[in-house]
Amino acid sequence: MPATILDGKATAAAIRAELTERVAVLAAAGHRPGLGTLLVGDDPGSRWYVNAKHSDCAEVGIASIQRELPATATEADVLAVVAELNADPGCTGYIVQLPLPAGIEESRVLEAMDPAKDADGLHPVNLGRLVLNVPGPLPCTPVGIVELLRRYGVPVAGAEVVIIGRGITVGRPLGLLLTRRTENATVTLCHTGTRDLAAHVRSADVVVAAAGVPGLITAGMVKPGAAVLDVGVSRVDGKIAGDVAKDVVDVAGHVAPNPGGVGPMTRAMLLQNVVLAAERAAALEALSA
């Protein structure tokens, strides 16, 4: 029997419908959320992602603030837009689309953002909160993965989870999230220095492949019945290629395909972060009124 597909596209659509109601409540109270995006340069993939985020916003009733700079922009140009978005009361959350052009220091740009408006959960203060396990915006892709597993009833507590990739947006924060008491997974974080990747994958109940190496995870490496989530994004001949080989679906119990799996969930969790930030701001205002 082939694996159950973890349909991120359908799940994200259901989450957007839920968020639409929460945005209507906020808007009625004079707290319409607004998502800002800053796109630097003209990478077609980045442009697609940013446009998709704005059409998601339109669907749920979140206002859009779209800022763009040419690929020739300096770090000072980027920091100026960051300062503007920090000061704009209509912008309740925003993202700086990554990667930034060479020569612009990403960590300095992220550091300059108002952590309360960090819709990506990638500000150093918010990553610190994740480590400390105190409330704050969480990184969208890791939360999207946890939410996708939860909605399909894939057990995480007590499970052996193998994550491949130690990047700042997926692998490393996902390990932190899944090892919280609330999730209670046992996590192994694999990377390019891992001696025997196949041995680790073979023992896993849940595999999250976020390496960006097309076809890295093959059917022979996967324990029968395991959940395999493909988060790798590479482009091969202009098409998106994931980290998971096609035949894994014949061995696994659940598969999150790419595209159609974790990507749409990432975007839904971005909207959720914006709504949560607006709800927090509205609650604070009500307290001081």
Ligand X SMILES: Nc1nc(=O)c2c([nH]1)NC[C@@H]1CN(c3ccc(C(=O)N[C@@H](CCC(=O)O)C(=O)O)cc3)C=[N+]21
Which among 143, 119, 124 has a CA at the least distance from the CA of 54? 119
Using CB under 6 A as the binding rule, whether residue 138 contacts ligand X is answered as no
Which among 168, 152, 184 has a CA at the least distance from the CA of 255? 152
Site size toward ligand X (CB under 6 A) is 19
Determine contact, residues 142/163, Cβ cutoff 8 Å: no
Say which of 7, 56, 97, 117 is annotated catalytic. Answer: 97
Q: What is the C-alpha separation between 24 and 9, in angstroms, rounded? A: 23
Q: What are phi and psi of 232, to 5 degrees?
A: -70, 135
User: Can you tell me which of 154, 264, 276, 279 binds ligand X, judged by CB under 6 A?
Assistant: 264
Using CB under 6 A as the binding rule, whether residue 5 contacts ligand X is answered as no
Using CB under 6 A as the binding rule, whether residue 13 contacts ligand X is answered as no
Determine contact, residues 209/164, Cβ cutoff 8 Å: yes
Site for ligand X in 41-70 (CB under 6 A): 48-49, 52
Closest separation in Å from C-beta 108 to ligand X: 15
Locate 11 and state its tokens. 């799940």
Question: Hey, which bits of 184-268 come out as E strands?
Answer: 186-190, 206-209, 227-230, 234-236, 239-241, 254-256
Whether 66 is catalytic is no
Whether 205 is catalytic is no
Q: What is the C-alpha separation between 102 and 41, in angstroms, rounded? A: 10
The answer to whether 167 is annotated as binding is: yes
Q: What is the C-alpha separation between 242 and 164, in angstroms, rounded? A: 13
Residue 120 or 243 with smaller CB distance to ligand X: 120
The site string for ligand X over 205-244 (x = CB under 6 A, - otherwise) reads ----------------------------x------x----
Say which of 7, 118, 120, 230 is annotated catalytic. Answer: 120
Using CB under 6 A as the binding rule, whether residue 147 contacts ligand X is answered as no
Site for ligand X in 97-136 (CB under 6 A): 97-98, 120
Closest separation in Å from C-beta 88 to ligand X: 18
Query: What single string gives the DSSP state of each residue in 137-188?
Result: ---HHHHHHHHHHHHTT---TT-EEEEE---TTTHHHHHHHHTSTTT--EEE
Closest separation in Å from C-beta 148 to ligand X: 12
At residue 208, what is the residue type? V
Given the rule CB under 6 A, which of 101-109, 174-182, 193-201, 256-264 is the region that contacts ligand X? 256-264
Using CB under 6 A as the binding rule, whether residue 168 contacts ligand X is answered as no
Given the rule CB under 6 A, which of 128-136, 197-205, 246-254, 259-267 is the region that contacts ligand X? 259-267
Residue 162 CB contacts under 8 Å (≥ 6 apart), including other chains: 187, 188, 190, 200, 201, 203, 204, 206, 207, 208
Q: Can you say how many angstroms the Cα of residue 89 is from the centroid of all Cα atoms in its chain?
A: 25
Using CB under 6 A as the binding rule, whether residue 36 contacts ligand X is answered as no
Residues that constitute the known binding site for NADP(+): 165-167, 233
Residues in contact with ligand X by CB under 6 A are 9, 48-49, 52, 95-98, 120, 140, 233, 240, 258-260, 263-264, 266-267
Residues catalogued as catalytic: 53, 97, 120
Residues that constitute the known binding site: 165-167, 233
